[in-house]
Amino acid sequence: MSDSQNNKSDSQPEESPLMGLALGIVFLLGGLYMIFAFSSFFIFLIGFGCALLGAAALAGTIAESGFGDDLRIPANLRQSLPSPEKEREILRAVKDSGHGGVSPTEAAIATSLTAREADEILSELAGRGYLAVESENGILFYSIPKRGPRDTT
């Protein structure tokens, strides 16, 4: 066990997600009870604050628990998709490349994107089958897939 993990366990116990859920539910329900059960404006404000605190605690606990991982959503769908404008810029650069393919660096030069953005979008489009990938001297080049002759039989 590393020193950082050992120090963490000595200084404070690990918080269970159930504790966060329980506190969130208690504050949320307690706040809602105060809002609807009492007619005083001051109590209403306190209840509203408690309800907000409870809702925030529930949302934070659910977000920290990694609930999306349990849903078995593929990683490529969990990532944010590029904007249609950026995708069109990249595809236009691939189409306009005179030598049949474009590297991420060439795509960045031909568009308003950074090299990292161009590389991510090109990789994503290739992963979905929209672009073909070729390697030359260790550099990846992306091109529009060629169509084969159609079978008319």
Q: To the nearest 10°, the Cα dihedral for 59, 62, 64, 67?
A: -140
Show me where the domains of the chain are located: 3-70, 81-143
Distance in angstroms (rounded) separating the CA atoms of residues 136 and 117: 21
Instruction: Tell me what pLDDT residue 96 has.
Output: 86
Q: Which residue has the higher pLDDT, 74 or 141?
A: 141
Instruction: Tell me what pLDDT residue 43 has.
Output: 86
For residue 32, pLDDT beyond 60: yes
For residue 22, pLDDT beyond 70: yes
**Is the model's pTM score more than 0.75?**
no
pLDDT of 54-88, one tens digit each?
888 887 777 776 665 555 555 555 555 667 888 88
Fold that domain 81-143 belongs to in CATH: Arc Repressor Mutant, subunit A (1.10.10)
